[in-house]
């Protein structure tokens, strides 16, 4: 199977920007056991609140807060990835995310 774009969207809510890009890839990214390549981002006024990605060699991980603390992320499914990303946005911004994906 060829590489396929699964999700690509960008939502601006006031001073917050949320971007989601997910690809299905034929060969897993180095360091991952699944067939998704992704970059999920939420920033406020240009400052990262949360970012999930899986760079080659680094595997699945997320960056949290202004200092972008990096920590491993245990990928299970694409659906759970999006749920976890949304939950981190809500938790780190102290409010409800009304992006309605």
* Phi/psi of residue 93, nearest 5 degrees: -100, -5
Question: Is 89:56 a contact under the CB 8 Å cutoff?
Answer: no
Domains of the chain: total: 1
Domain assignment present for 99: no
Domain assignment present for 23: yes
Domain assignment present for 28: yes
DSSP3 helix / strand / coil % (the chain, rounded to 5)? 15, 45, 40
Write out pLDDT tens, residues 2-57: 899 999 999 998 889 999 999 999 999 999 999 999 999 999 998 999 999 998 88
Q: How far is the C-alpha of 37 from the C-alpha of 51, rounded, in Å?
A: 14
What mean pLDDT do residues 69-88 have? 96
pLDDT band at 96 (very low <50, low <70, confident <90, very high): low
Q: Which domain holds residue 12?
A: 4-93
The mean-pLDDT minimum among 44-48, 77-81, 92-96 falls in 92-96
């Amino acid at each position: 199977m060829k590489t396929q774009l699964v999700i690509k969207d960008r939502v601006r809510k006031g001073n917050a920007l949320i971007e989601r890009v997910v690809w299905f890839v034929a060969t897993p990214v180095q360091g991952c056991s699944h067939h998704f390549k992704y970059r999920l981002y939420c920033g406020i006024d240009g400052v990262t609140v949360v970012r999930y990605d899986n760079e080659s060699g680094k595997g699945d991980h997320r960056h949290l807060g202004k200092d972008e603390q990096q920590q491993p992320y245990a990928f299970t499914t694409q659906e759970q990835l999006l749920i976890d990303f949304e939950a981190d946005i809500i938790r780190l911004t102290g409010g409800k995310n009304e992006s309605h994906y």
